Amino acid sequence: MDFRLNEEQQMLQDTVARLVRGEYSFEKRLEYSESELGFSADFWKQLGGLGLTAVPFPEELGGFGGTGVEVQSVMTELGRGLCIEPYLQSVVLGGGLISQAGNSEQQEQWLGGIASGEVRAAVGLQEPQSFYNLNDVETRAEKSGEGYTLHGRKAVVIGGHCADVLVVSARTSGDSRDAEGISLFLVPADAEGLERRTYPTIDGSKGCDLVLNDVKLGPDALLGEEGKAADVIEYQTGRAISALCGEAVGAMEVACDLTLDYLKQRKQFGVPIGKFQVLQHRMVDMMSELEQARSMAILAASVADEPQSDERRRILAAAKNVIGRSGQFISEQGIQSHGGIGMTWEYNFAHYAKRLIMINHQLGDDDFHLERYAALLQ
């Protein structure tokens, strides 16, 4: 058994780490975050130029044919840098759904651009009433002529504000919350009847809600088999959960490092506050939460690209449950250990805390995944 990255995986991670260190100071991140685009177009270009947006794609698309481990290597470093580029949405989720469900024309049309970073995708899978259940789809896709007409609303589409193409779930048959009858559609950003309500997110990136007012799409917009998308969505969000685990571990590593440094530097009562046992034990608890999260991230990566099974489902639910809890513990206890300074905008810790708490609100929180896991108990 060997838990280390192999040489190529390590090189990949080092490449991302170098890039992030060079380009992504905390001050620059605040600038990127406040820009209209909501992230750095230049950094995104560099991710593309270095082949990093192509990591999970096959070699003919300039990729590595990377699996969960390689994707996590990238995401961990993006998490350490608190990067806000839409890698998860475009490369992992958008690219993943098109790779799995798309026919050869669709793959040809979109994947090259997504892999090179020239095209950005985002995914609209949630709805106002869906909470975290992605089978809770009320957006309707009615047959009209050769194609479809979409009507409904998709909620909290991170990166959707600047995506060139949106992968959207809609119901072609069945009742809300049926797994059967969900279909996926490729919706170009400039489709008539598509409205985006754009907003900043609390953790510094941007997203939108999509309002689909009778958006008319051709037959080539259907991604995969009609009515059979639920399994595809579940599989690809599983890959995305593994990727998010990587990001979370990266962010938790930095949050723990910052807290430990502070405990050593900050003096009160004539000694570094790290001399106080209550803070020592809290720091140890934070580190063991990080280790729990790291272990589950590794496990998640190992099944991310395996064929679907209850075992894969269990592991991914467990991993997302653990990183949700660890992330919240490290955020809250880290702020507490810092005192007032941990509450300020000017100091980076709070931004890590906000990102970690919001990771728990992406793709299902710890309660949601606990329930999923319980339903799969053997």
Rule CB under 8 A: which residues touch another protein?
126, 128-133, 136, 155-156, 158, 176-177, 197, 199-203, 207, 209, 267-270, 276, 278-279, 332, 335-336, 339-340, 342-346, 350-351, 353-354, 357-358, 361-362, 365, 367, 370-371
Q: How far is the CB of 181 from another protein (least distance, A)?
A: 16
Rounded to whole angstroms, the Cα distance separating 10 from 322 reads 25
Closest C-alpha among 376, 243, 374 to residue 309 = 376
* Residues 167/185, Cβ–Cβ less than 8 Å: yes
Q: Which is nearer to another protein, 5 or 194 (CB)?
A: 194
Q: Which is nearer to another protein, 33 or 236 (CB)?
A: 33
Q: Which is nearer to another protein, 131 or 309 (CB)?
A: 131
122: its two tokens: 């985002």
- CA contacts within 13 A on the Cβ side of 279: 22
Q: How far is the CB of 204 from another protein (least distance, A)?
A: 9
Q: How far is the CB of 166 from another protein (least distance, A)?
A: 16
Q: Which is nearer to another protein, 153 or 312 (CB)?
A: 153
Q: Which is nearer to another protein, 13 or 90 (CB)?
A: 90
Q: How far is the CB of 208 from another protein (least distance, A)?
A: 9
Strand 206-217 with 147-158, pairing: antiparallel
Q: SS3 for 114-158, per residue?
A: HHHCCCCEEEECCCCCCCCCCCCCCCEEEEECCEEEEEEEEEEEE
Closest C-alpha among 230, 247, 243 to residue 100 = 230
Rounded to whole angstroms, the Cα distance separating 149 from 140 reads 8
Q: Which is nearer to another protein, 198 or 292 (CB)?
A: 198
Q: How far is the CB of 285 from another protein (least distance, A)?
A: 14
Tokens 């997302």 belong to residue: 320
Q: How far is the CB of 45 from another protein (least distance, A)?
A: 26
**Alpha carbon 285 to chain centroid distance?**
26
